[in-house]
Structure formats: structure tokens, C-alpha cells
Amino acid sequence: MKAASALRPAVVYLLAVLVGIAAFLYPFFLPADAIPGTGHAGDAPIVAAAVGLLVVVAVALEVRRGTMNGATIAVLGVLSAVSGLLRLLDLPGGGSGIFFIVVLAGAAFGPRFGLLLGLTSMATSAVLTGGIGPWLPFQMLGLAWMGGCAGLVGRVTARFDPRVEIGVLAAYAWVWGFLYGAILNLWFWPFALGDGPLAWNPDLSLAQTLSHYWSFYVATSLAWDAAGALANAVLILVTGAALLPAFRRFSGRLEPVVILEPA
């Protein structure tokens, strides 16, 4: 019974991830005449609602079994607000301050918290910046995957020397600076049908699709993402030594404690 109750939230989180992957990839499996001319404008609200509902169900299950509590949710809200506000800062080269908090908090609090923080941080920043549109659920999913994977990395690096751990997390954030941009391009790229070397069409093989996408990415996003990746790494190198131990100390206080009293 305990194993089943522990498995249910994990299954719901997994479903949220799979729904997100399907939302990014399904246009590649449609024939050209079935691809909507409006892109994701029609299905973006459905994607956002489906992922949001699954996450709410997962959190409710965790609260019910005691693995999350009011303090955890309060910390999630505060960090989401901070991350959203940091996106308003224009860093040199076009970098954003939203990413390094998600990486450090994900590494400290774990993959589930990192996934939730990515979703809520991007949603908060969209409200603050007015950046609400069909791209938003895909931005939320990309940042959620960054935070969730940071939680998995943090489970390994927690055993490292603190300076080594900060270096590993900085390298992780640098790599994800490129991955995030490459993933986010997929929300609109398959709708730009054409015959040129930068476009996609259903007649391309997998190798041709990857070649065309690489050419598109280099031409449109590589330089911008390189600046963002560098900003991510530098921010973690500068702030990680102070923030990561603080997050870890606080995460230990959020763990449920059972006190046995004599009858």
C-alpha cells in the first residue's frame, strides 16, 4: 500500500513529462496538409491545462502522503517569484537571471521540486513581463525539464567537494543554455514548411531533418544561446557557494519528521 502511494505521484509527474514531449513532437508526424497554419495557437491552452492539471494532482498526492507540506509550497512560491523577477534583468549578451535559481534550487531540493519550480517560475515571469502567448506552455516545459534534471544531477554532486559541485552545476547550466534554446525552437520550427535548407517538410528523412534543424539553429539561435549559456555558468559560479548550501540546509528542514512519544 505504501509503495503504491509513493508511486502514484511519480507516475503523474512522468505523464506530465510525456504530454510535454508529445506536444513538441506531434507536428513532425503530421502530413503537410494537416499542419495548422496557426501553429500551436489552437492547442497551446490545451497543453498548458493538461500539464497544469497533472502537476496539481501530483502535488495533491504528495501533500496527502506527507512528502510535501505547506512550508514546501511556500518556498516554491517565493522562489518562483524571485526567479520571475530576475527575468526582468537584462544581462550582457541577452542572458536571463531566471535559469540559475532554477538549477541551484533543483539541485538542492530534488527533481520533483526542480520540475515544479521551472513550471511556476516561467508562468510567473510571463505574468510580470506580459509574455503570455502560445509559446508560454513550451517555455514552461523547457524550464521544468532543466530544473528536474538539475535535481537528478544534484543527487550525485551532493557527495562532491563543494567547489567541484559548483563547477559541475555551472557546466550543467552552460550546456542547458544551448539545450533550452534548441528545445524551444521546436515549438514553431515544424510549422515553417518549405524546401530550403533551413525548413522542415514531411518528406525529409530523420538524417535530413536533423541536418536542416542544425542549419536553422546555427543561423538563428546559436549566438544568442551561447551568450545565455555563459551567463548561466557565470551566475552559478558567482552565487552558488552561498545559495546552494543555504538551499540544502532549508531543504533538510522541510523533510517530514515523525516523533514517537511513549504511551
What is the model's pLDDT at position 66? 75
Mean pLDDT of the residues in the chain = 87
Question: Which residue in 171, 163, 120 sits closest to 143, CA to CA?
Answer: 120
Dihedral over alpha carbons 47, 50, 53, 57 (to 10 degrees): -130
- pLDDT mean over 152-172: 96
What is the model's pLDDT at position 32? 75
C-alpha of 171 from chain center: 17
Predicted TM-score of the model (pTM): 0.90
Percent helix, strand, coil in the chain (nearest 5)? 80, 0, 20
Indicate the SS3 state at residue 30: coil
Question: Which residue in 177, 85, 158, 173 sits closest to 127, CA to CA?
Answer: 85
Residue 47 has which C-alpha cell? 497543453
What is the model's pLDDT at position 171? 97
What is the model's pLDDT at position 256? 46
Between residues 256 and 23, the one the model is more confident about: 23
pLDDT of 63 over the 60 cut: yes
Enumerate residues 6+ apart whose C-beta is below 8 A from 193.
32, 35, 199, 200, 201
Between residues 244 and 131, the one the model is more confident about: 244
- pLDDT mean over 39-49: 86
pLDDT of 5 over the 70 cut: no
Question: Which residue in 168, 191, 176 sits closest to 237, CA to CA?
Answer: 168
- pLDDT mean over 125-132: 86
Residue 86 has which C-alpha cell? 530576475
What gap in Å lies between CA 8 and CA 121, rounded to an integer?
A: 25
Between residues 66 and 163, the one the model is more confident about: 163
Residue 54 has which C-alpha cell? 497533472
Indicate the SS3 state at residue 90: coil
* Main-chain phi, psi angles of 162, to 5 degrees: -55, -40
Lowest mean pLDDT, pick from 96-105, 166-175, 192-201: 192-201
Between residues 19 and 3, the one the model is more confident about: 19
pLDDT of 141 over the 60 cut: yes
pLDDT of 258 over the 60 cut: no
What is the model's pLDDT at position 259? 41
What is the model's pLDDT at position 207? 94
Strongest mean pLDDT among 36-50, 83-97, 161-175, 189-203: 161-175
What is the model's pLDDT at position 262? 55
Task: Note the pLDDT tens digit of each residue in 206-222.
Answer: 999 999 999 999 999 99
Residue 177 has which C-alpha cell? 543554455
**Cα distances (Å, whole numbers) of residue 214 to 173, 205, 263:** 21, 14, 68
Instruction: For each of the domains in the chain, give its residue range(s) and CATH number, in order of start.
Output: 2-27+43-254 (1.10.1760.20)
What is the model's pLDDT at position 3? 59
pLDDT of 37 over the 90 cut: no
As a residue count, the chain comes to: 263
**Placement of cell 509513493 in the chain:** 6
Question: Which residue in 106, 142, 104, 150 sits closest to 125, CA to CA?
Answer: 142
